[in-house]
Amino acid sequence: MSKKSSPGKLSVPSRRQAVAYADQVAQDLLQEKYKIEKSNVELETTKKNLEKNIIELEDTKKTMLNVLEDLNIEKKNLQEANIKPKKLDTFDDAKLPNLVRSKKRRSVSTLRASTELSRMSILRPSSRRVERVDSVKDDFLSIASHELRTPLTVIKGNASLLIKGVGGILPKKTKAMVADIYFETERLINLVNNLLDVSKLDLDKFIFYPKPVDIKAVCKKIVASLSDQAREKKISLKVNADSNLPLVVADEERLGQVLLNLLGNAIKYTQKGTVSVSFSQQKGFVEGIITDTGIGIKEADQAFLFSKFHTAESAILTRQSGSTGLGLYISKLLIEKMGGKLYLVQSKPGKGSTFGFILPKTLTN
């Protein structure tokens, strides 16, 4: 007779049951392993595609910059041709007999009229060529904005999802590579946006919406958005302002863009120390001062600091930081369009830099 199991005691599975359970567990593990391997293959393929897209976009960016440079040179040459018409030679009438002098005057008048007509016929197509260059430049930037921004945004979005683990948990090394793709894509998007801003500002097609703005509140938002970046580099961010600081007349969004660029540059080019911004009331204006303890700017570079596509030689940093040489140029134009002025207060290599700007204040708060 078989013995009944005592109450309260666990029944021990038979050998056959244990083997079957072990086989099932092994199959489940093999399936999980297959899923992980398949996911890794898909992620590797996605990574390669993203890297390929980044390379293609870098090539497109270089081509775009070369085309813009060629267009600007062509436009400058055409404008110089219009401004400097060739002058006619003069004659000394006193040295000629009356009859010859009379004939000479008629011939000179005819020559002048003929030359003027010729000059106008030359200038008219030249002017049309200048307009055509501007039109081509506009069309090119417009196409670039759509053709580049759309795929860049898709790449950035997919990279962000991969980093967050939406497609599965990434190995540490793969995650780091995807993060590089994300940040490089973000840099390219900023470049495209900067090129579009430059084009609109140069052609006076930028639309501003001036109104009374609390510059302290705008600055605090920008500082909050940059706090993580500063914390990673152990940089202290400080904001100081007069308690009775008046409102300024500005386009709030563009003012934020200028502050983001100035403070972002200060953090970017500072390895350690402090970045501070202060606001004070001046006669008819509010002045902002941004100071950092960064690498500074060589004196030879300071004269070209606000030029288009210029970056300070001090940084090998233009490559390390991804600087395009457009930020300060755009910021200067934006501030001037809002009735203010942007300037370098001082800078010393190895000591840091101080930038200042002024904007008109409102008559009443």
Residue numbers of the domain that contains 323:
211-360
- Residue 2 included in any domain: no
- Residue 47 included in any domain: no
Tens digit of each residue's pLDDT (9 = 90 or more) over 192-207: 888 778 877 877 778 8
Tell me which of 19-28, 61-70, 281-290, 328-337 is least confident: 61-70
> Is the distance from CB of 230 to CB of 294 less than 8 angstroms?
no
- Residue 28 included in any domain: no
Look at residue 101 and tell me whether its pLDDT is greater than 60: no
- Residue 86 included in any domain: yes
What pLDDT does 146 receive?
Answer: 64
Do residue 282 and residue 195 come from a single domain? no
Do residue 197 and residue 245 come from a single domain? no
- Residue 285 included in any domain: yes
Look at residue 13 and tell me whether its pLDDT is greater than 80: no
Tens digit of each residue's pLDDT (9 = 90 or more) over 269-291: 999 899 999 999 988 999 999 99
Long-range contact set of residues 127-133: C-beta below 8 Å, sequence gap at least 24? 127/82, 129/78, 130/75, 130/78, 130/79, 130/82, 133/71, 133/74, 133/75, 133/78
What pLDDT does 32 receive?
Answer: 76
Tell me which of 20-29, 46-55, 328-337, 340-349 is least confident: 46-55
Total number of domains constituting the chain: 2
Tens digit of each residue's pLDDT (9 = 90 or more) over 317-360: 443 445 567 889 999 999 999 999 999 999 999 999 999 999 99
Do residue 139 and residue 278 come from a single domain? no
Do residue 258 and residue 314 come from a single domain? yes
Tell me which of 21-30, 89-98, 108-117, 293-302 is least confident: 89-98
> Is the distance from CB of 195 to CB of 326 less than 8 angstroms?
yes
Cα 211–213–217 angle (5° rounding)?
160
- Residue 313 included in any domain: yes
Do residue 135 and residue 216 come from a single domain? no
- Residue 325 included in any domain: yes
Do residue 271 and residue 189 come from a single domain? no
Tell me which of 84-93, 210-219, 355-364 is least confident: 84-93
| Mean of all residue pLDDT scores within the chain | 77
Look at residue 21 and tell me whether its pLDDT is greater than 50: yes
